[in-house]
């Protein structure tokens, strides 16, 4: 849970792996298990509409299925933070993904 002013904001998980869901549940984070693109869209819509949810966690493989929706949320929803997380097998992103984004954004090699 995240405290925003006097409000308590919840975290919510969207994943495709029961182990990830179970681990997050043990940490107090509710979530849904989905496998198909439309299920991911529906889960995102429901999470966005719930004003108690401040952070949405979604595993990377599912985020790849709905990249336009993910980008829309990141750009247009100021009260919801969307975080892409690896699953229990590790990240599917390249090791230098953050430095590559910085290099592309500002042209600086770090």
Write the pLDDT tens digit of every residue in 50-63: 999 999 999 988 99
Q: Taking phi first (over 0 means left), then psi (-120 to 50 degrees means alpha), and beta for anything else, what does residue 47 get?
A: alpha
Q: Give the three-state DSSP class for 16.
A: coil
Query: What is the per-residue pLDDT for 13?
Result: 96
Query: What is the per-residue pLDDT for 21?
Result: 92
The CATH number given to 2-106 is 3.40.50.10580
The answer, as to whether pTM is greater than 0.85, is: no
Q: What are phi and psi of 43, to 5 degrees?
A: -65, -40
Write the pLDDT tens digit of every residue in 7-53: 678 999 999 989 889 989 999 999 999 999 999 999 999 999 999 99
| pLDDT value at 2 more than 90 | no
Domain limits of the chain? 2-106
Closest CA to 54 of 78, 73, 79: 79
Whole-angstrom distance, CA of residue 29 vs CA of residue 47 = 13
Secondary structure E strands in 16-63: 30-33, 53-59
In contact, 55 and 11? CB cutoff 8 Å: yes
Write the pLDDT tens digit of every residue in 54-106: 999 999 889 999 999 998 988 888 888 898 888 665 555 545 545 555 656 66
Query: What is the per-residue pLDDT for 67?
Result: 92
């Amino acid at each position: 849970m995240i405290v925003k002013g006097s409000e308590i904001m919840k975290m919510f998980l969207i994943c495709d792996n029961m182990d990830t869901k179970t681990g997050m549940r043990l940490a107090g984070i509710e979530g849904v298990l989905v496998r198909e693109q439309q299920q991911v869209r529906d889960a995102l819509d429901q999470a966005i509409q719930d004003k108690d949810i401040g952070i949405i966690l979604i595993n990377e493989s599912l985020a790849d299925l709905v990249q336009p929706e993910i980008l829309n949320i990141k750009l247009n929803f100021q009260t919801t933070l969307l975080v892409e997380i690896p699953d229990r097998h590790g990240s599917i992103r390249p090791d230098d993904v953050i430095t590559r984004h910085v290099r592309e954004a500002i042209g600086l090699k770090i």
